[in-house]
């Protein structure tokens, strides 16, 4: 499998600062920058091919190059659109569902097949991803240091682990 390259990152936030402030019970704007940075870090940890979920939360576009007609398995699940080219000329592809992912075939193609696809988490899974981001931000907001004098440092809440396990893409 070729390594996917991010072409267009997500432009929508998984959880906005105002929602995070409500979750954290913060009613001032003094730490909006910190809360936004923590949200970005939580999203980066979870999202995309390199994130622990191995899938796109919000819509984003990826590219992979393959040799020959295929079938070729796309690295990301939840594919919404697919386009393919050979030497910058559009070619038709056949898309097959495999497990939670997709495979593409371009019959008769020789050379490098460049596949560009948009993917995003199904809407019914988005609330769990939003909850994971909120809990991570809350944990990091409350526990800003690795070691806290006079108390025991805590790991990421078990609930986040359960949500991640349920959302993680497993190639079948």
Q: Answer yes or no: are the C-beta atoms of 82 and 104 closer than 8 Å.
A: yes
Whether 33 maps to a domain, the answer reads yes
81/62 Cα distance (integer angstroms): 10
Are residues 106 and 64 both part of a single domain?
A: yes
How many domains is the chain partitioned into structurally?
Answer: 2
Q: Where are the beta strands (DSSP E) in 9-161?
A: 60-67, 72-73, 79-86, 89-91, 94-98, 101-105, 112-119
Whether 3 maps to a domain, the answer reads no
Whether 111 maps to a domain, the answer reads yes
Query: Which own/partner contact pairs does 90-97 have at CB distance under 8 Å and 24+ positions apart?
Result: 96/71
Are residues 89 and 113 both part of a single domain?
A: yes
Q: Which DSSP letter does residue 123 get?
A: T
Specify the pLDDT at position 166.
86
Are residues 115 and 64 both part of a single domain?
A: yes
Strand partners, 63: 5, 116
H or E element at residue 6: strand 5-8
**What's the sign of the alpha-carbon dihedral 161, 167, 170, 172?**
positive
Specify the pLDDT at position 158.
74
Specify the pLDDT at position 171.
54
Are residues 100 and 76 both part of a single domain?
A: yes
What domain range includes position 95? 60-119
Torsion of CA 29, 34, 40, 42, to 10 degrees: -110
Are residues 104 and 27 both part of a single domain?
A: no
Are residues 90 and 132 both part of a single domain?
A: no
Q: Which DSSP letter does residue 81 get?
A: E
CATH number at residue 20: 1.10.3230.30
Whether 2 maps to a domain, the answer reads no
Specify the pLDDT at position 144.
76
pLDDT per residue, tens digit, the chain (172 aa), is: 689 999 999 999 999 999 999 999 999 999 999 999 999 999 999 999 999 999 999 999 999 999 988 899 999 999 999 999 999 999 999 999 887 689 999 998 888 999 999 999 999 999 999 999 999 999 999 887 765 555 555 566 677 888 888 888 865 4
5/64 Cα distance (integer angstroms): 6
The whole-model pTM stands at: 0.85
Q: Where are the alpha helices (DSSP H) in the chain?
A: 17-24, 32-46, 126-142, 158-167
Q: Answer yes or no: are the C-beta atoms of 72 and 105 closer than 8 Å.
A: yes
Whether 18 maps to a domain, the answer reads yes
Specify the pLDDT at position 172.
42
Specify the pLDDT at position 154.
57
């Amino acid at each position: 499998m070729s390594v996917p390259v991010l072409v267009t990152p997500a432009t929508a936030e998984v959880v906005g600062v105002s929602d995070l402030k409500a979750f954290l019970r913060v009613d001032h704007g003094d730490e909006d920058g910190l809360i936004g940075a923590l949200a970005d870090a939580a999203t980066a940890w979870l999202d995309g091919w390199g994130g622990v979920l191995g899938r796109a939360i919000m819509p984003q576009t990826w590219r992979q190059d393959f040799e020959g007609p295929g079938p070729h398995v796309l690295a990301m699940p939840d594919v919404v659109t697919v386009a393919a080219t050979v030497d910058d000329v559009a070619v038709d592809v056949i898309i097959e569902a495999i497990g939670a992912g997709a495979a593409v075939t371009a019959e008769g193609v020789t050379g490098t097949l460049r596949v560009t696809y948009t993917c995003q988490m199904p809407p019914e899974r988005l609330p769990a991803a939003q909850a994971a981001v909120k809990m991570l931000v809350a944990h990091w907001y409350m526990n800003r240091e690795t070691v806290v004098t006079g108390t025991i440092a805590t790991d990421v809440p078990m609930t986040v682990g359960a949500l991640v396990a349920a959302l993680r893409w497993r190639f079948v």
